[in-house]
Chain A
């Protein structure tokens, strides 16, 4: 199972939630599968999806789901202690860990070798960390929403990308409709 298949499967769960989606192909895939005003697509700035989502979760009550990648979390590892030490019960970080930098040609990441992001999240102090197989992602995500506890999910899947068009929506439009959805 590759990332786009996971996204297709969890799209009905994501639809009613605030979603911050990682830069590059993950955002293109989510945009093509089920574009929603509640989706904030990152068009630049690799690594900051988890930080944007945490800032959002800390100032308002609606659940926030961050769809991140192993490569992007590795580029902003300082995010894990910040998440652990500023607990937002409405925050879910879903790391789709395909062991590769998908948007740049599937070069392997260290998460696909010796490094365990789940163990790093635990060592950072995150209390609810669940590593699952790709096929279990929907169930684990729904349980995290139902639990109402800050959760880090590491979903281990295969490397690979679906062919989807580049997002041409203006960034200010993405941001403006997202802010209206947050406020609604």
Chain B
């Protein structure tokens, strides 16, 4: 099974039925799988804070949500994470492409990568880092944990996890 399919099946097995995405080249395959899956309502959002609002509504309506986005989004969503998701105690798995790590070809991506874990730590957001594909074996436990504790939880997936960028 491809890693994209495995991640999608893990989301479905965790009863996640509403996924919002802001795209990333690394996440393209998993976004395609999610879009095709009959048990998931896929709603692309224009900005990640908008996406978190959609997820908050879906969860209050009884459907488990998730958001898929780049790590640059942590810079965009700090207020939303603090004053909506954390303040009202809502669960939100965040599958994040960790741009700017090893094998990254675009230098500017490193500028947010160096802040990503520090910002997540400052927000006291439980954070997991997938570097090898076998790390994704933990995904079902991470999803259970997220809905057990009603917190946003970050899953950082770096370029090595996704197999690099072609010739990189």
Contact = CB atoms under 8 A, between A and B. Distances in A.
Q: Determine the interface band of chain B, counting residues with CB < 8 A from chain A.
A: 20 to 34
A172 B88 contact: yes
Interface in B40-57: 41, 43-47, 49-57
B80 A55 contact: no
Interface string B105-127: 00000000000000000000000
Contacts of A40: 60
B79 A56 contact: no
Contact of A182 (B17, B53, B62): B62
A76 B80 CA distance: 12
Nearest to A23: B83
Nearest to B87: A171
B26 to A, nearest CB: 22
Contacts of B50: 48, 51, 76, 78-79, 82
10 contacts: A43-B83, A44-B82, A48-B84, A52-B57, A56-B60, A56-B61, A58-B61, A60-B62, A60-B63, A178-B60
Interface of A: 20, 40, 42-45, 47-60, 76, 78-79, 81-82, 86, 171-172, 174-175, 178-179, 182-183
